[in-house]
Chains A and B, each alone.
Chain A
Amino acid sequence: MDILANLWLGLSVAASPINIALCLLGVLVGTLIGVLPGIGPIATIAMLLPITFNLEPVGALIMLAGIYYGAQYGGSTTAILVNMPGEATSVVTTLDGHQMARQGRAGAALAIAALGSFFAGCVATVVIAVLGPILSKVAQSFGPAEYFSLMVVGLIAATVLASGSVIKAIAMILVGLLLGTVGSDIETGAQRLTFDIGELADGINFTTLAIGLFGIAEIIRNLERPEERGVLDRKITGLMPTWADIRQSFPAVLRGTTLGSILGILPGNGAVLAPYASYTLEKKIADDPRRFGKGAIEGVAGPESANNAGAQTSFIPLLTLGIPPNAVMALMVGAMTIHGIIPGPKVMESNPTLFWGMIASMWIGNLLLVVINLPLIGLWVRLLKVPYRLLFPAILVFCCIGVYTLNNSAVDVVLVAVFGFVGYGLLKLGFEPAPMLLAFVLGPLMEENLRRAFLISRGDPMVFVQRPISLGLLLVALALLAVVVLPAVRKKREEAFQED
């Protein structure tokens, strides 16, 4: 078996003491920055790049990769404990994870997130090793038309994220799409809704929006009603999940892992969709969807597995094609070139120790992460007992530092404050920000790919139905629309009858 020989080669590289140490360092730093709101892997990897100059390339890349997927583990901690998603991929974790924390089940939520991520990480590592090269070729048949159709599916799924009114969810989706249009027009370079602020020329940063809408708004709300600080005053019931929790979560973990692995391979950062897709799926197939948004453990287990699987399989386009699917991977390309490795389709053949060493290190890294994270749960939960008047200034300071480091720009810090007040207003009016954030992420991708598809097809709209993958996705979108709209229509009718 070639694969076994290759994995053995990889393990022999990754398991050298120095590489294990670097991997540990990477995942530790990753966990830390994941926990700190706002400070993301991009800024961290950029800052740490110079330190890796004197390391062997394999070790350097193992460490940098560890920061990336370690941040996925850490990110869920902040999402669950303080309702603050640091990354696009941890937004959905706030929905049920933070509710669980409010019910005193923070420990169970954190543990299931860590265990689910570990399982997903292990599976994704095998997927990369066995199927990576083949899948990446298939994924390249995903052109602009297919991407547009995928985004349509994602946008319809966004309505499912809301646990309240569908109308309000749609309103938030529209606001999200509008915010997504801020910045330079991709084709003409014209400035849209930038009000002559140079910093807005490249659009609003996701982290800025997410930290403001979720994190700052949450802080304001907590300060407004100190007696209802939720998490802090509740008695914490058990640090570990019960058997019932695990039984309930396991199928969700399996489904999340599958979805995450598939979406992660897509070259245009499909990984960002993975947790949303998983959440939608779990809510749709649940016996009682009303539990979602109120602390359903599947709503944590599925998306957390999906985001970790996606984070890991998003290395496939980079390692097998030499094409970075997202900003973090682009940074990895930079790291590779600085170390004298030119990423391309030949990396696997020309640098087998690097390729297989990195893959094997991911498994080791995931193991280390579980070992680090499970004992930390007790510590994190105890952190919630810190009086809020001491905790919230610290959170605010980290938010500001983190947001500043995104682009070394003070405008972003001001924007966070603005979005914080907006988020507080939305909270008061009963609008949920999650669908808006998803629309904000998907909108620009959707617009770009729509215009690109039209440019390539010379304006022929048939391109969306003539290409089989695109057609299939559009049909899924239609089916999803029916599932979302029909129950709402039926309910409306029932309500109307009751009033009669």
Chain B
Amino acid sequence: MRLNTVAAAFGLIGLVATAGAAQAQDYPTRPITMVVPFAAGGPTDTVARLIGQSMSKTLGQQVVIENVGGAGGTLGAARVAKADADGYTVLLHHIGMATAATLYRKLPYKLPDDFAGVGLVTDVPMTIVAKKDFPAKDLKELITYVRANKDKVTLANAGVGSASHLCGMLFMSGIEVSLTTVPYKGTGPAMNDLAGGQVDLMCDQTTNTTGQIKGGSIKVYAVTSKTRVPSLPDVPTTTEAGAPNVQVGIWHGVYVPKNTPAPVVAKLEGALQAALKDETIKARFADLGTEPEPMDRATPAALNAYLKAEIDRWAPVIKAAGVYAD
């Protein structure tokens, strides 16, 4: 009882729910909180706001975005893991959901057991970019140059556990070179120093790099997706350009706490799929250099399997790099 009072006092956003499983059929009867474990305005937040808006229309209840940033997205994930499994608190997280399992040695929740997937949302490709006067012409030259000058070349990233950090690790292990990495607090300052020529290389999401690439302030060598990216049609994939094992995407998924009733998950799945078919969302995603996941991937089964596979895929890469976030 006492706990309940305390929780209610803190639960301004509706963490405390009274709804039982019996009410799953009428779900949703009140606004749904979508926790984004990063700051407002970032690429993940943008994805969440775009699909949240469309899901609101389908579900007939407002999907409210709540930014619970901090600790590489683990604070937001922890909040959802502890929330009631009634479908009123959902999580939109990216690849960091899977890498946190290795990056953080003591997480306040269990991965993947504490969550149930709703579906994959989008897989944002990464780009391998350099300062604009970097000597190499293409990716092959870049690799040769980097191997020959590994003591001079610097690789920027947006901090431990960030997309650019993950991609950088994969890039270095893919071409078997270890470079000096220069960490920044967020993409903004990292991009600033790359465009200003203070650092040499970075690997970051198209969401962050497309504007700069098109503006000519940085040089692009490859995209890390399986196929070329429509917004950057002239840029080869890593496979085409000669580094087939550097393949990575910042995939996003929607989760609910484990034991959420199946009818509730099904309703969320339907709303997610409707959002991914929405023409405005397709157009906005295209602007960002990405596209919605196909329908067979926007399902609980696909996300649950993918999360497990990605946890297993990143564990050795992170352990080899020896970098932990705690």
Contact = CB atoms under 8 A, between A and B. Distances in A.
Interface stretch (A3-11, A86-94, A167-175, A180-188): A180-188
Contact of B325 (A189, A325, A340): A189
A259 interface: no
B160 A46 contact: no
B145 interface: no
Contacts of A343: 211
Contacts of B43: 337
Given A330-B41, A344-B211, A407-B69, A187 B192 contact: no
Contact of B192 (A189, A201, A267, A458): A267
Contacts of B69: 202, 407
Interface string B118-156: 000000000000000000000000000000000100100
A267 B189 contact: yes
A458 B198 contact: no
Interface stretch (A140-148, A275-283, A362-370): A140-148
Interface stretch (B71-79, B239-247, B303-311): B71-79
Contact of B75 (A199, A268, A332, A334): A199
Interface string A340-353: 10111111000000
Contacts of B46: 334, 337-338
A408 B65 CA distance: 11
User: Counting chain B CB atoms within 10 Å of each CB, which of A45, A202, A317, A323 scores highest?
Assistant: A323
Nearest to B182: A455
A456 interface: yes
Contacts of B283: 340
User: Counting chain A CB atoms within 10 Å of each CB, which of B69, B71, B78 scores highest?
Assistant: B71
B40 interface: yes
A425 B69 CA distance: 31
10 contacts: A42-B40, A46-B40, A46-B65, A49-B40, A189-B326, A325-B192, A333-B41, A344-B211, A344-B215, A456-B198
B41 A144 contact: no
Q: How large is the interface on A (under 10, 10 to 19, 20 to 34, 35 or more residues)?
A: 35 or more
Contacts of A331: 39-41
Q: How large is the interface on B (under 10, 10 to 19, 20 to 34, 35 or more residues)?
A: 35 or more
A154 interface: no
Contacts of A50: 49, 53, 65
Given A335-B41, A340-B284, A346-B211, A189 B103 contact: yes
Given A143-B193, A343-B211, A345-B215, A338 B50 contact: yes
B214 interface: yes
Contacts of B50: 338
B180 to A, nearest CB: 6
B224 interface: no
B66 interface: yes
Contacts of B71: 184, 198, 201-202
Which 6 pairs across A and B sit closest by C-beta, in order of nearness?
A344-B211, A334-B41, A345-B215, A331-B41, A46-B40, A140-B196
A291 interface: no
A199 B79 CA distance: 11
Contacts of B216: 345-346
Given A329-B188, A340-B284, 11 more contacts: A50-B49, A189-B324, A268-B189, A321-B217, A333-B41, A334-B49, A337-B287, A338-B50, A342-B288, A408-B67, A456-B154
Contacts of A408: 13, 66-68
A317 B195 CA distance: 12
Nearest to B78: A198
A30 interface: no
Interface string A179-222: 00000101111110000001101100000000000000000000
B108 interface: yes
B326 A338 contact: no
Contacts of A317: 192
Contacts of B196: 140-143, 267
A284 interface: no
Interface in B74-130: 74-75, 78, 103, 108
